[in-house]
Structure 1
Amino acid sequence: MRKKVGLLGGTFNPPHVGHLIIANEVLEALELDEVRFMPNKTPPHKQMDERVSEEDRIGMLSVAIDNHPKFQLELIEMERNGKSYTYDTIKLLKEREPKTDFYFIIGGDMIEYLPKWYQIDKLCQLVTFVGVRRPGYSVETSYPVRLIDTPEIHLSSSLLREKAATNGTLRYLLPDQVIAYIKENQLYEPRTGITDCERADH
């Protein structure tokens, strides 16, 4: 029997309730066996915020998903060097798990960006894209994307980092465990000369 696994990639800097809601909605809608949260090591089109280490991004994600039995961590991109191209990642996962069907979850912003993805035509043969709507973005595409209706929640990670840096409230925006992790490890403290960039994967 084949296994059905969702993949939700991102920097997760920090992981917020929007990530969790999307993952859970897709899990239920497609009757997946699990959803794996896959943090990027080096996204192809994003400047990373150097204030937060890879270990801390993994740590925040671990506590965020800890209480959901069908949420897992997938660290394949963290274990590799170089840019995290989805095509290379999926090829490796398919080689490791030939009896697994992968469903790659993307938001409306990434649906618009699909024509620019590395080896997109080959990638479409390896994975099923699952699209969720994001306010302000079109979901029209010539590529095969299975659309799932989910609550449209748009949370900017850069805004959340800014709120954390200025001691603004994060309640109901991040899981309580993530808020506690940020405070305990003093993450996102202000530092001059660093610019937060919006997420733009692949």
Structure 2
Amino acid sequence: MSTTNTSTRKRIGILGGTFDPPHVGHLKLASHFAKLLHLDTVLLIPSGEPWQKGSGITPAEIRYQLTEAAGIDLARAFLYLKIPTQIGIDRIEIDRAGPSYAIDTVKALRERFGAEASLIWLMGADSLNALPSWNSWQELIHYVNFAVASRPHHDLGLNSDTEVNHTVKQFLDAHQTMETSALENQAFGLIYIDETLAVDLSSTNLRNQLKTARNSIEAEAIPSHTLSIIHNLGLYQ
């Protein structure tokens, strides 16, 4: 694996999700890793057909619109924090027919950005715990690095003796790095666990709040531009 100097290697953060709706936790995750890993670009990628989420998902085009709106607030945060990272709202999964599998996305992004770019999938600890349920999940590490943020009530559970936790522990043992610079210097194959960011927000809980206590939702939970669209379209009622 090559070790191109960080000054020339492109560093692309990938933040995928259903984004139903996108929330401030997503933005904090993007901001944190954009600064920590000196990312050139962060791509927010709404899933087209989120195959693990069941029915009742907001249509993809509306979720894309909500994510675009969240991108406006993320750009403002980057400006305020003096983070030079570019932001892209990517339609790669929405425009691709069939279920949205991460493995298809990372293969396409690797082709787009080339063999030397460091592609870094940004996620919370809950997603890492669930990784063995993803389609062709063990192949992902051959295309991307992972940057994982801790989440309250979602520790990695590596002390629990279950088959899933054992699988995740083996995965970490093989690929974990303690150095952020390693992700900047290597195109794929590494996992970095960050314990300094802990955001306790979930789209599921926010949807329930919007249904039951709509007026109590604050801008601290949902980006202001996204919240405006939710209200204007009467979503999640």
Fold conserved between structures, TM > 0.5: yes
Q: Give the residue type in structure 2 aligned to 1:57.
A: R
Distance 1:58 1:150 in 2: 29
Indicate conservation of the 8 Å contact 1:18/1:155, yes or no. Answer: yes
Aligned-partner Cα distance in 2 for 1:123–1:175: 30
TM superposition score normalised by structure 1:
0.85
Task: Pick one of 42, 58, 69 that aligns with 2:64.
Answer: 58
The residue type equivalent to 2:120 in the other structure is Y
- CA–CA separation in structure 2 for the residues paired with 1:168 and 1:156: 18
Q: Quick one: which amino acid aligns to residue 127 of structure 1?
A: V
Aligned-pair Cα RMSD in Å: 1.7
- Quick one: distance in 2 between partners of 1:124 and 1:161? 32
Q: Does 1:23 align with 2:30?
A: yes
Q: Contact 1:25–1:150 at 8 Å: present in 2 too? A: no
Check if 1:87 corresponds to 2:89. Answer: no
Corresponding pairs, count: 188
Q: Does 1:9 align with 2:57?
A: no
State which of 32, 40, 56 in structure 1 corresponds to 2:39. 32
Q: Does 1:179 align with 2:234?
A: no
Counterpart residue number, 1:46: 53
Counterpart of 1:75 in structure 2 is 91
Q: Secondary structure at the match of 1:180?
A: helix
- Percentage of matched positions with identical amino acids: 31
Secondary structure of the residue aligned to 1:142 is helix
Provide Cα deviations, 1:117-155, integer angstroms capped at 9, x if missing partner. 322332111100111111222334322221123431121
Instruction: Determine which structure has more spread, i.e. the larger CA radius of gyration.
Output: 2
CA contact (8 A) 2:151 2:197 kept: no
Q: Is residue 40–residue 77 contact of structure 1 (8 Å, CA) maintained in 2? A: yes
Which digits, 9 at most, give the CA deviation of each residue in 1:159-187, with x for residues without a partner? 21122223232111111111111111111
* 1:192 alignment partner in structure 2: none
Alignment partner of 1:169 is 2:237? no
> How does the TM-score come out when normalised to structure 2?
0.74
Aligned to 1:148: 194
Unpaired runs of at least 5, structure 2: 1-7, 79-85, 159-168, 176-190
1:42 is paired with a residue whose SS is: coil
Does residue 131 of the first structure (1) align with residue 148 of the second (2)?
yes
Assess, with a 3 A threshold, how the Cα gap between structure 1 residues 137 and 163 changes in structure 2: closer, same or farther: closer
Partner-residue secondary structure (3-state), 2:122: strand
**1:116 and 2:133 matched:** yes
CA deviation after TM superposition for structure 1 residue 3, in Å: 1.2
User: Offset at 1:9?
Assistant: 0.8
Q: What does residue 194 of structure 1 align with?
A: none
Structure 1 stretches of 5 or more lacking a match? 190-202
Q: Deviations over 1:12-65 (max 9, x none)?
A: 111110000011001111111121111111123111424x32221111111111
